[in-house]
Each structure stands twice: as C-alpha cells, then as structure tokens.
C-alpha cells in the first residue's frame, strides 16, 4: 500500500523539533511535516467560516478556544494531504508523541486490517473497551464504544480522510470529540491496544492548546463534562 506519515508541528514550537526528528527516525515509512495552523494567526473571518456552536447532538457544552479551532484545522490539513497525494492511507501524528517498544506490533496489527475506509487509532491510554476484531502478538484491535479521546496518533485511509473532510467543513467541538461521533462523520474508528505510543507534552514544555481557566469555569466543566460523556456513550451504544 502507498502509505506516508504526517507529523503535525507548530513552526514556533521550536523546542519540539528534536522530538519531531526522533519520531521521523523511528518511523518505517516516508514522513512529511504538516505545518500546524497557528491560533495566533487565525482571524475572526476564518473562525466564523468553520466554527458553529451547537451544530450536532448531543450539544457540546463548551465554547472552543482559538487554539482548539487551530488544532482541528491542523488535522484537516493532514487529512487533505492524504487525499491530495492520492495515498492509500496516512499515519497522522501530533508532535508530542513518542514511540514505545509496542509500536512495531501495533503498526503491524493495524496494517493487517487497514483499507482505504479505515480510521485506526493508536491511543496512548489502554482504557478503551469494545468488540475485539483481532488479536496478534499480544496486540488487540477493537471497535471502541465509546471511542476514546485524544488524537495523538492514527492511521487514516484515503476514503476515510475524504469523509472526515466532508463532515467537518463546519464543526462545533474539538477534533477528538468529533471523531467519536461516527454517526456524524460516517467513519467508525478502530483502536489498537496497546497503541505503541506515549504522549510526552509535559516533557516538551506542556500542551500548546491548553489554557488556564478561572475557578468558575473549572467548576462548570467538572459538572458538565461527565454529563456530556454519558450522552456520547449512550448515543454510541444506540448507533452501533
């Protein structure tokens, strides 16, 4: 198969370049750096074009930050590259990812089931459960229910990338919570456990999209987040 890796990297995050280089060195396929959309450079006209509150159900209870919008647009750039380059599939990584000793087995398992309609997650947490579709060399592939959060690493077939692009011309929530909603995207993710990756943003100076929140905002999120996640789980079960 014609497969290429894409690493989403924010140009001004120069302290992450050594990790990007280590990631490139560790990947067994040709690799391209995707220049991440910089939230500092986003204008209101661009934001208004793509971001619409309360677009889907269940309603996402929080407004997106500019950096969350930029993150979503960065992933869309990677999906577009898969389509534009007519690849069979692309491995999409964020730049705060490190490969673990499980990665070769995780990748081999994923490639054994990969096709152009696939969206296969390589999660850094092994907390997901669901129907098992493959067991190989200590690695499992499942249909997660609900789909886990995080978009640090995934393998996306060209047809899946096209569907994701079509479904997210406008969006109302972060990219990982959108990926959970297969009834919206038309793309049902698989997950590889263990995923063969770990998230190391703290070692690289912290997340580039998280921000400090006020105490009232933190309390609001503590109340509304579990309710939203329950709604997503219920909708995932009913849509299965």
Which helix (H) or strand (E) is 61 found in, with range? none
Give the residue extent of every domain in the chain: 3-239
**pLDDT value at residue 211:** 62
**pLDDT value at residue 207:** 67
Residue 237 has pLDDT above 90, yes or no: yes
Task: Classify 16 as helix, strand or coil.
Answer: helix
- Quote the distance between the C-alpha of residue 136 and its chain's center: 24
DSSP character for 51?
B
Residue 180: pLDDT band with limits 50, 70, 90: very high
Residue 214 has pLDDT above 90, yes or no: no
**pLDDT value at residue 206:** 67
Measured over the CA atoms of residue 73, residue 151, residue 40 and residue 219, the dihedral's sign is positive
| Residue with tokens 């990748």, as numbered in its chain | 107
Residue 167 has pLDDT above 80, yes or no: yes
Q: Report CA dihedral (177, 195, 165, 181) to the nearest 10 degrees.
A: -30
DSSP character for 124?
S
- Which class is domain 3-239? alpha beta
**pLDDT value at residue 204:** 83
Give the count of beta carbons closer than 10 Å to the beta carbon of residue 66: 17
Longest dimension (CA), the chain: 50
């Amino acid at each position: 198969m014609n497969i290429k890796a894409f690493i989403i990297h924010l140009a001004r995050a120069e302290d992450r370049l050594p990790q990007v280089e280590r990631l490139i060195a560790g990947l067994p396929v040709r690799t391209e750096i995707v220049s991440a959309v910089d939230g500092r450079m986003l204008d209101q006209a661009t934001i208004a074009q793509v971001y619409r509150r309360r677009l889907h159900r269940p309603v996402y209870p929080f407004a997106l930050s500019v950096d969350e919008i930029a993150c979503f647009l960065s992933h869309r750039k990677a999906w577009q590259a898969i389509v534009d380059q007519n690849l069979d599939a692309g491995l999409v990584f964020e730049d705060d990812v490190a490969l673990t000793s499980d990665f070769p087995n995780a990748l081999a398992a994923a490639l054994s089931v990969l096709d152009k309609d696939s969206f296969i997650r390589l999660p850094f947490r092994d907390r997901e459960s669901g129907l098992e579709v493959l067991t190989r060399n200590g690695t499992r592939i499942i249909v997660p229910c609900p789909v886990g959060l995080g978009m640090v690493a995934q393998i996306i077939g060209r047809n899946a990338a096209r569907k994701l692009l079509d479904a997210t011309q406008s969006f109302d929530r972060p990219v990982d919570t959108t990926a959970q909603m297969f009834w919206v995207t038309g793309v049902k993710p698989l997950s590889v456990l263990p995923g063969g990756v770990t998230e190391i943003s703290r070692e690289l100076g912290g997340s580039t999209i998280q921000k400090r929140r006020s105490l009232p905002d933190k309390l609001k999120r503590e109340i509304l987040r579990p309710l939203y996640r329950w709604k997503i789980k219920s909708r995932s079960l009913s849509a299965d």
